[in-house]
């Protein structure tokens, strides 16, 4: 197996997460039954592989929509805080503006009471914008120093208040847009999952038995590949130890890429990884719920984010951002704690625990569990990222 996967061209896969074979094959059987009923006499039925791919896309699309939902939810939360801050600022500035207006009004009232000519200060209370005030320069020339100071304060407060009101209006518009994105992503997830549930509800006992057999074979193959990776990593570790004893330093990688082997994670990383893994193990058995970040349930990126947070490392919310939050290493050199990303559109993630295994939150209807990183085949692995 190559020591490092080559990058893929984005968009070559349908967005979303791969479903474990049991659910995929279950949907396949239903789709086959439906298509067979509508097919013309003598027409060939689609192969199991063809239909399996179609229904597998349903779950991948749901996972892709989940990550978009997570991103929109995070953006909406930040935007809502910004709007609240701006509105609070506008309220405070409006109060200051009213106080400045009141001071100008007191000067105008004094001028009326003393009969001191034109009520210069009152003129500014009729101005609608700061520009209106500056256009009345001849009035400013007749004012006392205290009056001018009051006008300056009024102009400043009015300018800043208008500026903040405009910012608040724009932020409210952005908030409306992000809320729309959030609503769209949520509807997409619900639609895809509802379609999957409807198809699964039509399975017969015979079909379920066939699907269980397919799932068992896939699990056996995934376990075999995990064991092979564990053997390869053990050999690499032994080679490093022998080289260190001989004073030769780290050996070079033997992968097909021919690149120099990535140095093993340092002790500081190991300490943090232990904390992250301890947290992840404690979540095993908790249900997958799309958009969830714990403590009672998780989606895939919610689990990895929470695990590394327990180790004192802050990860972004979505798989799209988490994949860029560290150093990419070859699959053959994955260390416990590393993040394992899947599919060309990077819509699933798990946390590596060693020996070709990971802890992840697979998909709706499942629970956080340990599983081979090859659960959907080695081609599904996108990259390995060391986050700290």
Collapsing DSSP to helix, strand or coil, 87 comes out as helix
Spot the catalytic one: 186, 218, 348, 386.
Answer: 348
- Rounded distance between C-alpha atoms, residue 51 and residue 57, angstroms: 10
382 in catalytic set: no
Question: Which residue stretches of 286-388 are H helix?
Answer: 300-310, 319-322
- 18 touches 343 (CB < 8 A): yes
Spot the catalytic one: 93, 164, 360, 363.
Answer: 360
Of 382, 298, 306, 370, which Cα lies nearest the Cα of 341?
Answer: 382
348 in catalytic set: yes
300 in catalytic set: yes
Neighbouring residues of 119: CB distance < 8 A, sequence distance ≥ 6: 108, 111, 112
Burial class (CB in 10 A: 0-12, 13-18, 19+), 301: buried
Distance (Å) of CA 225 to CA 7, 232, 377: 21, 11, 9
Residue 369's DSSP bridge partners are 360
Of 288, 317, 276, which Cα lies nearest the Cα of 17?
Answer: 288
Neighbouring residues of 295: CB distance < 8 A, sequence distance ≥ 6: 306
- Rounded distance between C-alpha atoms, residue 343 and residue 62, angstroms: 14
Burial class (CB in 10 A: 0-12, 13-18, 19+), 36: exposed
- 127 touches 133 (CB < 8 A): yes
Spot the catalytic one: 300, 313, 353, 359.
Answer: 300
φ, ψ for residue 8 (rounded to 5)? -110, 155
* Residues marked as catalytic: 300, 348, 360
């Amino acid at each position: 197996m190559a020591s490092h996967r080559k990058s893929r061209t984005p968009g070559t896969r349908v967005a979303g997460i791969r479903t474990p074979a049991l659910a995929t094959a279950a949907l396949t059987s239903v789709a086959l039954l439906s298509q067979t009923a509508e097919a013309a006499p003598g027409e060939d039925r689609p192969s199991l592989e063809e239909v399996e791919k179609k229904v597998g896309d349903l779950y991948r699309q749901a996972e892709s929509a989940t990550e978009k939902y997570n991103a929109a939810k995070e953006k909406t939360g930040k935007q809502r805080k910004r709007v609240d801050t701006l509105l609070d600022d506008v309220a405070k500035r409006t109060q200051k503006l009213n106080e400045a207006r009141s001071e100008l009004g007191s000067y105008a009232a004094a001028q009326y009471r003393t009969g001191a000519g034109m009520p210069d200060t009152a003129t500014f209370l009729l101005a609608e914008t700061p520009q209106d005030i500056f256009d009345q320069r001849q009035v400013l020339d007749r004012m006392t120093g205290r009056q001018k100071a009051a006008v300056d304060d009024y102009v400043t407060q009015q300018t800043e208040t208008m500026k903040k009101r405009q910012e608040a209006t724009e932020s409210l518009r952005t908030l409306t847009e992000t809320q729309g994105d959030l609503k769209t992503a949520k509807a997409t997830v619900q639609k895809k999952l509802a379609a999957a549930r409807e198809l699964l509800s039509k399975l017969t006992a015979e079909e379920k038995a066939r699907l269980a057999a397919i799932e068992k074979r896939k699990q056996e193959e995934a376990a075999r590949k995990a064991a092979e990776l564990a053997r390869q990593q053990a050999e690499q570790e032994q080679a490093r130890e022998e080289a260190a004893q001989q004073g030769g330093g780290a050996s070079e990688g033997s992968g097909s890429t021919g690149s120099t082997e990535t140095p093993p994670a340092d002790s500081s990383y190991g300490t943090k990884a232990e904390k992250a893994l301890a947290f992840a193990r404690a979540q095993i058995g908790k249900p997958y719920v799309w958009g969830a970040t714990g403590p009672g349930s998780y989606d895939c990126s919610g689990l990895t984010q929470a695990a590394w947070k327990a180790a004192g490392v802050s990860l972004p919310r979505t798989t799209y951002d988490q994949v860029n939050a560290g150093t990419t290493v070859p699959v053959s050199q994955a260390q416990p704690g590393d993040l394992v990303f899947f599919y060309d559109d990077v819509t699933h993630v798990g946390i590596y625990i060693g020996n070709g295994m990971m802890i992840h939150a697979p998909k709706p209807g499942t629970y956080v569990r340990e599983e081979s990183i090859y659960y959907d085949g080695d081609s599904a692995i996108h990259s390995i990222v060391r986050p700290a």
